[in-house]
A = this chain, B = another copy of it.
Amino acid sequence: MAHFGSSVEYGLHCLLWLVGPLAEPASSRDLAELQGVSPSFVAKILPKLEKAGIVRASEGVRGGYRLAAFPSEITVLAVVDAIEGKKPLFDCREIRGRCALFRGRAPAWSTDGVCAIHAVMLRADQSMRNELGHTTVADLAKTVARKAPPSFGGEIRNWLVGRATARAERAPRRS
């Protein structure tokens, strides 16, 4: 079991399909099926990304999610915080003031400044967040693009367009 849940992995992968000039709006279901992951699980992640201003949804049979900002402006940290809710590494309960010797009246020195244990945790948390804040969705997409054949972006686009077209054809027409 890891500190970050699998929603973070799925959320970041979803965003990668929405990058690029050819990117089509994609429904939550299409993003899930494109990646071979549970649609009901992905359906819980995208509203969190929308609430954080990372994606934007449009209605209709050809609607779906698009990025709401440039991929170079969306950091991995922003995605993690949107999904995990800015969870700290450590929650200091200030137990240093509860020492039995203080008999319920902690002297000022005992709770002065940040607890030494909390301080190291804050440094570790900041260092992790800095690293996540240095990488953007554009960086991730560049790495994928370097590996994939040049035709891959078009194939993804065609797959998503094909799904939206099939949905539009099945939808009841207004008379």
Q: Which residues of A contact B (CB under 8 A)?
A: 1-4, 6, 8-10, 12-13, 33-37, 76, 87-93, 95-96, 98-101, 109-110, 112-113, 116-117, 119-121, 123-125, 127-132, 135, 139-140, 143-144, 147-149, 152, 155-156, 159
Contacts and interface: CB of A to CB of B under 8 A. Distances in A.
A87 B156 CA distance: 35
Contacts of A4: 89-91, 121
22 contacts: A2-B90, A4-B89, A4-B90, A6-B93, A9-B91, A33-B100, A34-B101, A36-B95, A37-B98, A76-B117, A76-B120, A89-B128, A100-B159, A101-B152, A101-B159, A109-B147, A109-B149, A116-B140, A120-B135, A120-B140, A124-B128, A127-B131
A96 B131 contact: no
Most B C-beta atoms less than 10 A away, residue of A112, A144, A147: A147
B127 A9 contact: no
Contact of A35 (B33, B95, B127): B95
Contacts of A156: 101
